[in-house]
Amino acid sequence: MTITLSTHVLNTVNGIPAKEMIIELWKVNDDDHIFLTKMETNSDGRVPPLELNVAGIYELVFYVGDYFKESETSTEPMFLDLVPIRFGVELGKGNYHVPLLVSPWSYQTYRGS
């Protein structure tokens, strides 16, 4: 059994999708993290959905600092750099959509549909 994991990123300063943001996906175990993949958001702020077939704890790491350094809303030093979102996945419990709403100074996430 597999579940689909998806995410998208919205730049809340301008109200636009955050294109070309780097995102990493990690599997979190008791004593270590296992790197799974590195992605870049498209012009809609999205990455292709991923299939997960192991329940457990995962972490999406959003490279917010690098993204905002390329924009006109950059601050030095960056208030937010890497934004990790750690969440649990249970197989058979539907798909998981983990969006990020972000500015250089704050972020919000939720389990979407």
User: Is 97 labelled as part of a ligand binding site?
Assistant: no
User: Is 67 labelled as part of a ligand binding site?
Assistant: no
Q: Cα angle vertex 37, ends 31, 38, to 5°?
A: 120
What does the alpha-carbon distance between residue 98 and residue 100 come to, in Å, rounded to a whole number?
A: 7
3-state secondary structure of 2: coil
User: Is 46 labelled as part of a ligand binding site?
Assistant: yes
Residues belonging to the binding site for substrate are 8, 46, 110
Residues belonging to the binding site are 8, 46, 110
